[in-house]
Structure 1
Amino acid sequence: MGDDMDIGGASSSAVEDFLKETSLYLAPDPEIMENHGLEPRTAYEDQCIAKANDPVRLEIVRERILAGVNESFEMLENMGAAPGAKWGDCVSAVYTASGDLSLASSGGVVIFCNLVQYPIKFINKYWAGDATVGIKEGDVFIVNDARYGQAHNTDQSMMMPVFHDGRIVAWAGATVHEGENGAIEPGGMPSLAEQIWDEGLKMSPFKVAENYKLRRDLVTFLQNSVREPKLQYADMKVKMYVCRRIETRIHEAIAEYGVEAVVAALRMNLEDTDAEVRRRLSEWPDGTTRHAWWTDGTLRENVQIKINLALTKKGDELTFDYRGSSPEFTNRSNNSLDITVKGMLAQLFLTFIWPDIPRNQGVLAPMKFVFDNPSVLKPAFGTPNAQSMMTVFTAWSAGQVCAMKFLYSNPKKYTRVLAPWFNMINTFLFGGLTQHGEMVGNVCADINGMGGGALADRDGEHGCAPIFATMSDIGEQEFIEEEMPFIQIVSKKMMRDNQGFGRQRGGMGYQMVLAMRDSPAFGFMLTAMGAKFPNIPGLFGGYGCPTYPLSRVSGVDVFDILVKDPGSFRYSIEELMNERPFK
């Protein structure tokens, strides 16, 4: 019997295969999630670079593919159904076969595509060799769970492998801030969430289309899980066709320049970016800059949450040390994952410090990150993070202040020193029944009008762009009114003394006043900090922006007033609250 029970003769590889095949649950892989750097060159990439290494030709190939990516971004904006798609809270991108972000669209949200590297690497590691899944030409994968690689669960990404002669040579990706995701509150960013199970859809990376066709059984499941089934289906189709357009442009580049040139261009774009960032960092003086700032609540109660940063530059590397920041909130949704902090800081360098650097993840390769674990910026696995913006935006601002101090100290600059950009999404989540009888839940596009910090020789901008996106828009109110049962009676009006003290502005430049109409059930929820403590500081001390209290007028039919006594209405929050003109 002893011989029958003996497994000592089994090879170690057989045991490893058995354990691999019997995994109970493929959770996010720490080996993938902790690595924000570049994957090692593959043997095939080495072969391609050996055959195609003329830098001028590779630059032409890169620009050719980037033109296709930008074309796909315009498709995403023009065809998308979600407010985030229509007004620029989206992005499209190309990744290497290994999953590294190589080319992001010139417009859009860099953090989105920077995070998609993680689900692609998960797919490569776990699904490529799985007989029940696999990766074939025409397959499309989807993800929205932040723990596998998204900013928060309201964002949805679709990824498609690009094949040539049976080999994956690249990945195409498209991401949209979709909004509604079936969470405990409409709109996808529930302040009420006290556990991860309150945050709505939790899609780990899985195959949702085969042979370029969405699987209707899976689509129906996803539609059945959210409040806006039409939105879910429409934007899945849009993202898939955006990926197909990128695939087409890559195939055209291969036909014209050869597959070796395309693979080499995607890889060298990353390595060239890494090398250039290291060269520029080496020009900065060695040392440490420090900054601490606070956010003033959890969206449910007032509390001072500390974000602490020591930024150290040594040689050609930067270290972001966020130790000393507040502990995690185990039952509040304003925690941020560390990958989200990293992705936001990529946006900082690619937009506000070195906007001439190609938009890819190579910019972060020379950088290291240190967090307390767990903390509000690196919470435990089961901690909700649906409102991660409430802490990650403050972490971004601390990074901007520290980095700008280094930039100020360097005689050679590639852009000008910039005062802190306004960092908060002062707008509303909404949800309920529309005038068309459809259930909706989403966010207003006013988040994209953040005020811009001043330069040494120029005032700041009242309303310019969000810290997380380029070439985005605040939305056309007339279009919004066609779909939603509310009107912005005061829409994007500049507010006196709202930008900070002195000539150099630093806050939220405009105000808005809205009211619901033509719906039996519709509501709003504020999603912003900064009513008790300013969102941003000055650069070298001094004043930051003012605070922004939420104001509300109840028990008044404003539309009746506009018909019967239009002269009594006041078109600013200051006048409405101070004069109280309605009887």
Structure 2
Amino acid sequence: MTNASLDPIELQVLRSRLQAVAEEGAITIERTAISPIISESRDYSCTLLEANGDLIVAGGAISHHFGICGHAVRATLATHGDSVAPGDVFFCNDPHNGGGLHAQDVVVQLPVFVDGELVAWVANSGHMLDMGGMVFGSWSPDATDCYQEALRLPPVRLFRRGAEQTDVWQIIRTNVRVPDVVEMDLRGLVAGCEVARDKLVGIAQLMGRDHLLDGIGELRRRAEHEMRRRITQLADGVYRYTGWTEWHDERYEIPCTMTVAGDTLHFDFSGAPGQTNHFFNTKPHIITAQIVGDGSDVLTHDIPLSQGMFNPVTVHCPANSIVNSNPPAPVASAHIDVSLTASMAAHQCIMLAVAAGSSDVARLLTGPVAPSAMAIQTWAYTTPQGYPDGWMMLDGAMAGTAAAYDRDGTDLCNFIVARKPILEAIDVEMLEAWYPVLVDFKRIRPGAFGAGRFRGGSGCNMRFGPYGVDAVVGQLLAVREHLPPNGSGGGRPGSVSEFVLRSGAGEERALPGKSGAVVVSAGESIEFRIGSAGGHGDPLDRDPDAVARDVRLTRLTEAEALSVYGVAIVDGAIDADRTARTRARLLRERLDAARPASRPRSAPATEGDRERPAQTIYPGVDQRGGTAFARSSGAVLAHAPDAWTDGCPVLEQPLDGAVVERSYLDPVTGRLLLVEAVPAGAACSVVSSPRRWTEAAPA
């Protein structure tokens, strides 16, 4: 049957059926695995892929898994080729050789045959509680090469033509600390594959094999067509955003340059540093999965993620760099630090192009995504029977989202725009029931973080200690120690993550964000305060009633309301006159304290430009002809093709050691146009150069 015979209704029914198959496979994983990280936190996924590894549809909670399963299938095909047979089940976990996000996120793959022909794959990924290596959980900041980190397997068979490969299972069991738990979770992934396979074969038998394949191909083509259509709504040009990955006081610059050309996006990470002996080296397939997964949440959030979203996107990661590493580079955190910095920078490039274009998703504009503020931990202990055990504290992933252009960020959540939640924290009651801990409190972190006209959401603040055991030993994996996530459109940065060890006597000691083998003994406790994303718009433009509400909810103190937002609140009541005076004073003080613009524009706008239609270069900055204006005051900031930031007075304030908060001001009003937390002396982290701006320069 030809593609022309597939009518729109039939295609929609097929898409819904395929989505239901993936979700049923995912639910099977959740209900058959036994570790809370899968059954409670939902760190797993189920994907359906074409015979060549192209993504059809996915279910489960981890969208970053969706994009890496095709990489695993293609590696399996390259290794095993024509020997793939019905009843085979493959396994891989090495990011350097066919694996997924990191060694703990194993990928189980099952080929689907119909009438003797390989027509599809089911590939499931889930986080295993332990995969061996130097520490429980296989996630050590002290590892200096991949050989120390975990058991690493290339694509191998768990089942051959339906027969269990007991030698492979025994290799895995022998190398992990909790073999029964890992085996049951692996079997849960296999069960999810089998359920999805059976359902997919049933659809093929109902529709006919060729009809099914035609439909899958047409769905891919339509998804790609729509992705390309929406890319054309972005403003052609070059956009750059620079992020930094931290290792205590070391900083690794991750520059991302995105080129929008017609219906394509190209991301270039040239200039990234060479691979390091720290555990956060990453791989191109991981960065690509995160870029497309996060970017499509904005551009095509109403369409299920599929290969069609990947095809218009290319990513360049220079060889032997921190974004394209090779053995022996350690990669236990390959999907967190560097890769999240890279995907966050790419996401911000997309947001810059959204703001500068005509896209109907401009209403979804936000600052840097919150996952880059997470502070996950793994904890281990010895059972009364003398066996090792432990858990992963995914509450550390509950950061607050960035503010949007018209709303506050969301507390305890990673994305303000997404198809579904990424992770769920284990309930306190479940955590205490499963493991020897007692939780003192778990709450939203208070404080004036991510201030803006719309503020960022808040992260998790939690304290717990060992209960019933002598001690627990942890690996602390905070992403942001000194550099908080930036805001957008004049919003201020969010907060960094912090760990505090509290003695039995109540004395507190701050711990480095990346710490290995942290011992918390009986009577002691550990507290973590998860970072938050940035705000949107100048905090002095926030509705005073919204500020007063945050004070009532104890998110802010009255002193913070006055100093950050300029809102005077006494005994819960707003003093409107004092608020107006305070805000006017704070605006003046900014201009008085700022250094002059690097290229001040005292000359008038190019003749006729003020009368031209306004087109956004950056939120709060408009292009009219060949001149850039501050939207709120009409002040001239730059003439094409110069950077609009060149015409802004700059205010710098120290944040933490060698980190500064740098603000680019409207030269007339003093309002914040762009605020960034950057290493002292760094260039501006944001460059927005729509083609219409660079081409507006005089000949």
TM-score of the superposition, structure 2-length normalised? 0.68
- 1:529 is the counterpart of 2:482: no
* Cα deviations by residue, 1:283-339 (Å, 9 ceiling, x for unpaired): 221111111122221xxx42112111111101111111111223321x211111111
Aligned mate of 2:269, from 298, 302, 322:
322
Percent identity reads: 22
Deviation at 1:202, TM superposition (A): 0.7
- Aligned partner letter, 1:142: F
- Amino acid of the structure 2 residue aligned with 1:511: N
Q: Are residue 425 (structure 1) and residue 374 (structure 2) matched?
A: yes
Deviation at 1:97, TM superposition (A): 1.1
For 1:450 and 1:79, locate their aligned partners in 2 and report how far apart those are by CA, in whole Å: 29
Residue equivalent to 2:577: none
- Residues 330-383 of structure 1: CA distance to partner in whole angstroms, max 9, x if unpaired? x21111111111111122123233211221132121112223322211123431
Higher alpha-carbon deviation: 208-217 or 346-355: 208-217
Aligned-residue offset at 1:213: 5.0
**Where do 1:36-435 residues align within 5 Å?**
49-50=2-3, 53-86=6-39, 87-105=41-59, 107-129=60-82, 134-147=83-96, 148-212=98-162, 214-297=164-247, 301-329=248-276, 331-388=277-334, 389-414=336-361, 416-422=364-370, 423-434=372-383
Contact 2:112 2:121 in 1 (8 A): yes
The residue type paired with residue 159 of structure 1 is Q
C-alpha displacement of 1:511: 0.3
Matching residue within 438, 455, 468 for 1:487: 438
- Pair member with larger Rg: 2
| Paired residue secondary structure (1:551) | strand
1:475 and 2:426 correspond: yes
Shift of 1:50: 4.9
Change (3 A) 1:406 1:373: same
8 Å CA contact retained: 1:155, 1:176: yes
Partner of residue 454, structure 1: 403
Question: Whole-Å Cα distance in 2 between the matches of residues 380 and 302 of structure 1?
Answer: 25
Q: Deviations over 1:204-260 (max 9, x none)?
A: 111111354533332122011111101221011111110111011112212222212
Match of residue 549 from structure 1: 498
Compared CA separation, residues 541 and 292, structure 1 to 2 (3 A): farther
Q: Cα distance, 1:53 vs. partner?
A: 3.2
Equivalence for 2:557: none
Aligned to 2:567: none
Residue 444 of structure 1 is matched in structure 2 by: 393
Counterpart contact for 1:113–1:173, Cα < 8 Å: no
Note closer, same or farther for the CA distance 1:469–1:224 as it changes in structure 2 (3 Å cut): farther
Distance 1:442 1:181, change over 3 A: farther
**For residues 158 and 497 of structure 1, what CA distance do their matches in structure 2 show?**
43
Distance 2:491 2:194 in 1: 50
How far off is 1:143 after superposition?
0.8
Deviates more, 1:543-552 or 1:150-159: 543-552
Q: CA deviation at 1:469?
A: 8.6
Q: Any idea what SS the aligned residue of 1:552 has? A: strand
Q: What is the aligned counterpart of 2:460 among 497, 510, 518?
A: 510
SS of residue in 2 equivalent to 1:245: helix
- Deviation of 1:281 after TM superposition, in Å, equals 1.0
The AA in structure 1 aligned to 2:57 is: L
| CA gap 1:275/1:113 in 2 versus in 1, 3 angstroms | same
Cα distance 1:265–1:434, how it changes in 2: closer, same or farther (>3 A)?
A: farther
State the distance in 2 between where 1:224 and 1:449 align. Answer: 33
- Answer whether contact 2:502 2:526 (CA < 8 A) is retained: no
Displacement of 1:498:
5.8
Q: Provide Cα deviations, 1:127-169, integer angstroms capped at 9, x if missing partner.
A: 133xxxx222111111101121311111111110111111111
Match of 1:565 in 2: none
C-alpha distance in structure 2 between counterparts of 1:280 and 1:321, whole Å? 21
**1:557 Cα deviation (Å)?**
9.2
Q: Distance in 2 between matches of 1:573 and 1:113?
A: 30
Q: CA distance change for structure 1 residues 97 and 542 in 2, over 3 Å: closer, same or farther?
A: same
CA contact (8 A) 1:95 1:170 kept: yes
Count of aligned pairs between the two proteins: 507
Q: Which amino acid aligns with 2:28?
A: M
1:52–1:141 Cα change, 3 Å: farther
> Equivalents in 2 of 1:325, 1:341: separation in Å?
13
Report the Cα offset of residue 573 of structure 1. Answer: 7.4
Range that drifts further, 540-549 or 462-471: 462-471
How far residue 542 of structure 1 moved from its aligned partner, in angstroms, is 4.3
Aligned equivalent of 1:12: none
User: Which amino acid is 2:429 matched to?
Assistant: E
Worse-superposed segment, 309-318 or 368-377: 368-377
> Residues 108 and 469 of structure 1 are in contact (CA less than 8 Å); yes or no, is this contact kept in structure 2?
no
Write the distance in 1 (CA, Å) between the matches of 2:61 and 2:160.
27
Q: Which runs of 5+ in 1 are unaligned?
A: 1-47, 559-568, 576-583
Deviation at 1:411, TM superposition (A): 2.7
Secondary structure of the residue aligned to 2:106 is strand
Contact kept in structure 2, 1:336 and 1:376, CA below 8 Å = yes
Comparing 432-441 with 366-375, which one deviates more in the overlay? Answer: 432-441
SS of 2:373's equivalent in the other structure is: coil
Does structure 1 conserve the Cα–Cα contact (< 8 Å) formed by 2:79 and 2:155? no
The runs of 5 or more residues in structure 2 that have no matched partner are 508-524, 531-553, 555-699
User: Cα RMSD between the aligned structures?
Assistant: 2.6
TM-score by length of 1: 0.81
Equivalent residue for 1:23? none
Q: Higher strand proportion, which one?
A: 2
The 8 Å contact of residues 88 and 159 in structure 2, kept in 1 or not, is answered as: yes
Whether the 8 Å contact between 1:454 and 1:460 is mirrored in structure 2 is yes
After superposition, the Cα gap between the structure-2 partners of 1:533 and 1:125, relative to the gap in structure 1 and judged at 3 Å, is: closer
**Could you say which residue in structure 2 is the equivalent of 1:566?**
none
SS where residue 128 of structure 1 aligns? helix
**Contact 2:227–2:299, Cα closer than 8 Å, also in 1:** no
Partners of 1:336 and 1:392 within 8 A in 2: yes
Q: Given residue 267 of structure 1, which amino acid in structure 2 is its aligned partner?
A: G
Alpha-carbon deviation of 1:547?
2.3
Amino acid corresponding to residue 424 of structure 2 in structure 1: D
CA distance, structure 1, for counterparts of residue 476 and residue 419 of structure 2: 21
